[in-house]
Amino acid sequence: MLAQFTDKLREDYGDQVGGIRLRRAKRSGKEVFSILWNDGTKARSQQVKATNELEAYEAAKQFLKEVTGEVKPTGDAVPPSGLMRRTLIAALRANEGKGIRQQTEDSNARALHRVAGYISERGLLLNKESLLEAIKATDITKRERRSAIQAAKALAEAGQIALVVPKALYFESPEPLKRELRLHERAVINKTLREDIETLPPYARWMFRVVACTGVRANACFSMEIPNHELTAGASLYYVDSKRSKKNALVKAETTPSLVWDDQSMWNVWRLWEIPEEIKELQVFGRRPTNEELVKQNNMTSDAQRALRRKLPEAKGLVTMRMLRHLTVMRLFKHPKIGSDKDYLIAKIVSTSVDQLRKTYSQLYTNQATSIVGDAFDFTIRSSEDDVRRALENL
């Protein structure tokens, strides 16, 4: 009979609540009844007040009415997650319908599950307070805070909950790490790029050298328009800026090689216009890459970095895409004809914001601040007649 009641509950509420099942058990010699269900994040159970199967069915039915919002909660048997499963499913479907790239869609889905899980595991109802609590549980200086806010807003929209996130809860960028390379570390990087990297697959060494010469993000390698010849100083290279491109508008960025050793452009020395076949197969121009293409591009970038760590362990942590980009910025900052007073040019070359540059490389501005002010307000100290007389006496 219990199985029949379970089937009836599934028939009435199965489209809104998953995993419904009535269960009988013996506890301390007494027969008890529980309802099992899945709230979208994990399997849960709730004991119901009943002395027989029919009473268990009626109690479970009332419980499911409260879960689905058919009636307002009347007692302690309130589902810990409120309408969580139904709301989570709606939010996930809305996320799938945004037409965003697969990687972003997956990341959003994980964030939705994390916020929903936090609320469910603590037996909280789905409301404004529990959503804000889930946000507060994340580190304000980490990107998970951004994800939690976005997920909470999505759940609120799906559940028709009025949610305003206070600015005090917004993500705060941590003070960036400022790393000064030691002389021997710079020697390792230079030697790796010039010689040791030849042991890597062609696509891997090409990607590392392109980033070293231009300071672009690694994914720019898959959309960069490269002339089939040597480049003159200041020649432009165009690529799609994936970080600034919108859903329906591609944003092109511009860069130029700036790595020079022994008065030679290393772009030309390494003949980087000769693009490896593996890279060519994944390059996309004039449109967004498909989700499948994007996954392959990201995998190739990861494979390149793994190959370097495996074959050149002495360069681990030093020759990375991020470090090569950092060195490009430092190279441009320290150039006498560019420097921090032309930070807007550096920001354009490496496709970042001036604010981000100033935050990350603030020490370079500080080092030059007093000398710049001194040049702008040059003056001399006037000497008195007594100073002149004493100076002449001491000759």
Per-residue pLDDT reduced to its tens digit, 2-26: 888 898 888 888 877 778 889 998 8
| Average pLDDT for 228-238 | 88
Query: What residues are paired with 33 via a beta bridge?
Result: 24, 48
**Least confident stretch, 226-235, 309-318, 345-354, 376-385:** 376-385
pLDDT digits (tens, 9 = 90+) for 20-63: 889 998 877 788 888 887 765 567 777 888 888 888 888 888 88
AA letter at 311: K
Answer positive or negative: Cα dihedral of 209, 214, 219, 224: negative
In the chain the beta strands, taken as DSSP E runs, fall at 18-27, 30-38, 43-48, 237-240, 252-255, 260-261, 264-265
What pLDDT does 160 receive?
Answer: 84
Q: With contact defined as beta carbons under 8 Å apart, do 275 and 206 qualify?
A: yes
What is the Cα–Cα distance from 46 to 377, expressed in whole angstroms? 77
Answer with the residue of higher pLDDT: 180 or 224: 224
Query: What residues are paired with 30 via a beta bridge?
Result: 27
| Average pLDDT for 368-390 | 56
Query: DSSP character for 241?
Result: -
Query: DSSP character for 249?
Result: B
Task: Count CB atoms within 10 A of the CB of residue 71.
Answer: 11
CA neighbor of 35 nearest in space, from 45, 26, 27, 43? 45
Of all helices (H) and strands (E), which one includes residue 190?
Answer: helix 183-194
What is the Cα–Cα distance from 123 to 45, expressed in whole angstroms? 12
- pLDDT higher than threshold 60 for residue 82: no
Share above pLDDT 70 across residues of the chain, in percent, rounded to a whole number: 83
Q: How many CA atoms lie within 13 A of 122 on its CB side?
A: 15
Q: With contact defined as beta carbons under 8 Å apart, do 348 and 275 qualify?
A: no
Q: Is 371 left (phi over 0), alpha (psi -120 to 50) or beta?
A: alpha
Query: Global pTM?
Result: 0.59
What pLDDT does 274 receive?
Answer: 94
Q: Which tokens hold the place of 72?
A: 């307002």
Answer with the residue of higher pLDDT: 369 or 234: 234
Q: With contact defined as beta carbons under 8 Å apart, do 321 and 211 qualify?
A: yes
Query: What residues are paired with 265 via a beta bridge?
Result: 260
